[in-house]
């Protein structure tokens, strides 16, 4: 599917995409809890992959495409070889240099001055997101991370020294055996580095990962939901006290420093993703690329760039509305009917009864024209989502 002007349907996705995601799947070592579409570093696959990426871009991006945000995610994009960076910059440079926000995901240990400089010069990287996760050696080891605590300040200093405008840190809580005191220590260490942005994730036990398998064997014990709730509350309270805005379930920013790229996802605005496993939202359809990196490269190089897309999901407006409402409610801006209409051409009126009911349970509150999750609602955002994503049971069955 290309970005040629979409056939005007019900008005959804009428605006052209403003966000570009580029997936670079390579990681020095695979973390045992990770279920991202990643691959081990290999020069040969990297070369093929980058060829494919360019071919996909040429096939799927329209002439004159000018994204406002670019996100290099993975994997660990900063671990590209020098040749790989040059290869990427050659075609992505002209697109990315005009963007207002270009984010690079990096590992604190493997972010090297030479590479950062090349990426900054070639792509205009002005935001670096560092996977710090924790500052406790014990927890980093348990999470199977390649870096050490002292790598984080080094990487932050490097980014600043190179003139990167915004630095974001990823933290994780909920590793087996973690204590609330350790959560505090991680927050202390992170805040000491004065980041512009923090993404604080509760560990997700993704099925099929070595972590989940170890849990099923009884070798690892997840923290209880009660502990996670306490840790999450602590994180929110402390970061708010430190002057951060909690603007999405896991995202905290100093005022004005929120991730503009990610906000596109949560507003159900159109975006395009290139690379294996990458997703796009175009003309109201959700597209997902071939997941395996080698299979992706093969498909694109043998059958052309359009072959990158493995799945196209076209949701009927009623389902799209529910999806958009669920995503919007995960942000502090919340669900704003006027905005939903403008952004995605969807009318939230059919949700009124569900929203009122959730409000009755103390999970939602009205703030002016918007609906937002209450403090408890944020902690139960999936339960709220399930409620909203509910099909009208009896009606749906009657149709079937």
Partner 1 sequence: MRLIRNFSIIAHIDHGKSTLADRMLEMTGIVSRREARDQMLDSMDLERERGITIKAAAVRLPWTVDGVEYQLNLIDTPGHVDFTYEVSRSLAACEGAILLVDATQGVEAQTVANCMLALEANLEVIPVLNKVDLPTARPDEIAEEIENSLALDATGAPHVSGKTGEGVPALLDLIVRQVPPPKGERAGPLRALVIDSVYDDYRGIVVYIRVVDGVLRPRDRIVLMSTGKTYEVTELGIFQPREKATEQLEAGEVGYFWGAIKSLEDVRIGETVTHFKDSGTPATTPLPGYKDPQPMVFASIFPTYNGELPQLRKALEKLHLNDASFTYEPDKSEALGFGFRCGFLGLLHMDVVQERLERESNVTIVQTAPSVSYEVVKTGGEVALITSPAALPDANFIVEIREPIVRAQIVTPTEYVGAMNTLNVTKRGKFVRQEHLGQSRVILVYDVPLAEIVYDYYDTLKSASRGYATLSYELQGYQASDLVKLNVLVNGTPVDALSTICHRSEAEVRGRELCKRLREEIPRHMFDVPIQAAIGGRIIARETVKALRKDVTAKCYGGDVSRKRKLLEKQKEGKKRMKHVGNVEIPQKAFLAALGSGGDDGGKKKKK
Question: Which residues make up the interface to ligand SF4 (CB under 6 A)?
Answer: 27, 30-31, 34, 36, 38, 74-76, 107, 131
CB of 277 to ligand SF4, least distance (A): 11
- By the 8 A CB rule, do 25 and 49 touch? yes
Q: Which does 15 bind (CB under 5 to 8 A by kind): partner 1, ligand SF4, none?
A: none
Rounded alpha-carbon distances, angstroms, from residue 196 to 126, 243, 330, 334, 342: 12, 10, 21, 22, 30
User: Considering CB distances under 5 to 8 angstroms, the limit depending on partner class, which of partner 1, ligand SF4, none binds residue 45?
Assistant: none
Q: Which residue shows structure tokens 């103390």? A: 362
Q: Is 34 in a helix, a strand, or coil?
A: coil
What is the Cβ-side half-sphere exposure of residue 71, based on CA atoms within 13 angstroms?
A: 21
Q: Which of 236, 142, 129 is nearest to 187 (CA)?
A: 236
Q: Which residue has the tokens 């390579």?
A: 26
DSSP state letter for 257: -
Residue 133 sits at φ, ψ, to 5 deg, of 65, -60
Closest contact distance (angstroms) between CB of 122 and partner 1 is 23
Question: Token digits for 40?
Answer: 């081990």
Farthest-apart Cα atoms in the chain, separation: 63
* Residues in CB range of 379: below 8 A, 6 or more apart: 229, 232, 233
Instruction: Return the residues of window 43-102 that contact partner 1 according to CB under 8 A.
Output: 73
Per CB under 8 A, the segment of 90-98, 107-115, 150-158, 323-331 that binds partner 1 is 323-331
Count the neighbouring beta carbons within 10 Å of the beta carbon of residue 199: 21
**Least distance (Å) between residue 114 CB and ligand SF4:** 20
Closer residue to ligand SF4 (CB): 74 or 377: 74
**Residue from 4, 181, 256, 393 in contact with partner 1 (CB under 8 A):** 393
> Which region among 6-14, 81-89, 101-109, 322-330 touches partner 1 (by CB under 8 A)?
322-330
C-beta of 30 vs 236, nearer to ligand SF4: 30
- Residue 19 or 132 having the CB closest to ligand SF4: 132
Between 120 and 223, CB nearer to partner 1? 223
The verdict on 380 binding partner 1 (CB under 8 A) reads: yes
Task: Work out whether 385 is an interface residue with partner 1 (CB under 8 A).
Answer: yes
Smallest separation (angstroms) from partner 1 to the CB of 208: 13
Nearest to 124 by CA among 96, 105, 145: 96
Residue closer to ligand SF4, measured from CB, 173 or 326: 173
Name residues contacting partner 1, limited to 189-248 (CB under 8 A): 201-204, 224-226, 228-229, 232
> What is the CA angle 179-184-190, rounded to 5?
130
Q: CB neighbours (10 Å) of residue 11?
A: 12
Q: Which is nearer to partner 1, 36 or 91 (CB)?
A: 36
Under the criterion CB under 8 A, does residue 327 sit at the interface with partner 1?
Answer: yes
CB of 188 to partner 1, least distance (A): 21
Determine which residue in the list 8, 303, 357, 367 makes contact with partner 1, applying CB under 8 A: 357
3-state SS record for 346-385: CCCHHHHHHHHHHHHCCCEEEECCEEEECHHHHHCHHHHH
**Residue 368, number of CB atoms within 10 A of its CB:** 8
323 vs 336, which CB is nearer to partner 1?
323
User: Shortest Cβ distance from residue 272 to partner 1 (Å)?
Assistant: 9
| Nearest residue to 127 (alpha-carbon basis) of 242, 27, 258 | 258
Q: Count CB atoms within 10 A of the CB of residue 243.
A: 11
Q: Name which of ligand SF4, partner 1, none residue 277 binds, using a CB cut-off of 5 to 8 Å depending on partner kind.
A: partner 1
Q: Which does 344 bind (CB under 5 to 8 A by kind): partner 1, ligand SF4, none?
A: none
Residues that bind partner 1 (CB under 8 A): 21, 37, 73, 201-204, 224-226, 228-229, 232, 249-250, 262, 264-266, 271, 273, 277-281, 286, 288, 313, 323, 326-327, 330, 357-358, 361-363, 378-387, 389-391, 393-394, 397-398
């Amino acid at each position: 599917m290309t970005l040629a002007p979409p056939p005007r349907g019900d008005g959804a996705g009428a605006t052209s995409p403003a966000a570009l995601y580029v997936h670079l799947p390579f990681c020095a070592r695979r973390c045992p809890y990770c279920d991202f579409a990643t691959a081990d570093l290999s020069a040969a696959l990297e070369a093929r992959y980058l060829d494919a990426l360019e071919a996909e871009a040429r096939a799927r991006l329209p002439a004159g495409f000018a994204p406002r945000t670019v996100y290099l995610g993975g994997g660990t994009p900063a671990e590209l070889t020098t040749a790989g960076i040059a290869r990427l910059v050659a075609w992505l440079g002209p697109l990315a240099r005009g963007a207002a926000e270009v984010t690079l995901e990096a590992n604190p240990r493997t972010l090297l001055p030479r590479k950062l400089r090349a990426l900054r010069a070639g792509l205009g990287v002005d935001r670096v997101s560092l996977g710090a996760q924790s500052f406790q050696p014990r927890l980093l080891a348990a999470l199977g991370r390649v870096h050490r605590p002292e790598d984080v300040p080094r990487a932050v200093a490097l980014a600043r020294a190179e003139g990167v405008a915004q630095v974001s840190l990823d933290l994780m809580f909920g590793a087996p055996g973690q204590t609330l005191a350790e959560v505090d220590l991680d927050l202390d260490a992170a805040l000491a580095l004065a980041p512009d942005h923090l993404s604080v994730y509760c560990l997700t036990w993704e099925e099929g990962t070595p972590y989940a398998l170890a849990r099923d064997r009884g070798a690892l014990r997840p923290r209880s939901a009660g502990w996670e709730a306490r840790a999450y509350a602590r994180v929110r309270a402390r970061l708010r006290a430190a002057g951060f805005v909690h603007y999405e379930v896991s995202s905290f920013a100093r005022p004005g420093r929120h991730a503009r790229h990610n906000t596109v996802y949560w507003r159900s605005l159109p975006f395009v993703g290139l690379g294996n496993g990458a997703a796009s939202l175009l003309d109201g359809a959700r597209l997902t690329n071939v997941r395996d990196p080698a299979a992706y490269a093969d498909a694109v190089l043998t059958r052309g760039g359009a072959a990158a897309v493995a799945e196209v999901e076209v949701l009927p407006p009623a389902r799209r509305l529910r999806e958009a409402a669920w995503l919007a409610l995960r942000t502090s801006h919340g669900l704003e009917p006027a905005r939903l209409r403008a952004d995605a051409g969807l009318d939230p009126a059919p949700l009124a009864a569900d929203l009122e009911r959730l409000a009755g349970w103390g999970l939602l509150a009205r703030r002016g024209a918007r609906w937002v999750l209450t403090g408890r609602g944020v902690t139960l955002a999936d339960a709220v989502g399930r409620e909203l994503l509910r099909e009208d049971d009896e009606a749906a069955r009657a149709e079937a």
